[in-house]
Amino acid sequence: MILSGTEIRRRLGENSQNGDLVLRPYSDAGQQPASYDLRAGEDAVLLQGKCTLVPTLEWVELPGDLAGTLRCRSSFGRKGVLLGAGFVDPGFRGQLTLCLTNCGAGDIPIRKNDRIVQMIFHEVLGGGTVYNGRYQDSNGVVEARLS
């Protein structure tokens, strides 16, 4: 089941350990009917034909019963931006590093606070195992950490 905007707001709290969803700083402008728009955490230029890593402004904490899917907002998709690595496991904490590839006709500027991706929240039934991997508590852009 996908969470509605009303349910996303209802689930917001201060601590994912208590079963709360955390999006900090939260913005009413980012709340959509069935998703939340995450913002760029810094200025960047998406160079034509290149992948650029951009951190989200929001610190995200998912409780054990929620997972997230990331989708590029259509306004950036129409410019030729593709988003890679678009799933967030239950239990994740940190800023997300977005892998944005510019397949468009020219460079695309991104400004801090631009709404660039949508996060869709899914209920996870019968879980119990939560994320505790190499990107836990990420802050800023985090390069690939290969094992």
More confident residue, 143 or 122: 122
| pLDDT at 147 > cutoff 70 | no
Q: How far is CA 8 from CA 85, 99, 123, in A?
A: 22, 25, 11
- Mean pLDDT on 11-23: 92
Fold (topology level) of 5-123: Deoxyuridine 5'-Triphosphate Nucleotidohydrolase; Chain A (2.70.40)
Q: Are 120 and 71 in contact (CB under 8 A)?
A: yes
- Mean pLDDT on 134-145: 90
**1-5, 12-16, 141-145 — which is least confidently predicted?**
141-145
Please name the residue that has the structure tokens 């996870």: 124
Which residues, at least 6 apart from 25, have a Cβ–Cβ distance to it below 8 Å? Answer: 57, 58
The pLDDT tens digits of the residues spanning 24-45 come to 999 999 999 999 999 999 999 9
Bridge-partner residues for 27, per DSSP? none
> If pLDDT is split at 50, 70 and 90, which confidence band does 1 have?
very high
The pLDDT tens digits of the residues spanning 47-103 come to 999 999 999 999 999 999 999 999 999 999 999 999 998 999 999 999 999 999 999
Query: Residue ranges of the domains in the chain?
Result: 5-123
The pLDDT tens digits of the residues spanning 98-129 come to 999 999 999 999 999 999 999 999 999 987 79
What is the pLDDT at residue 79?
96
pTM of the model: 0.94
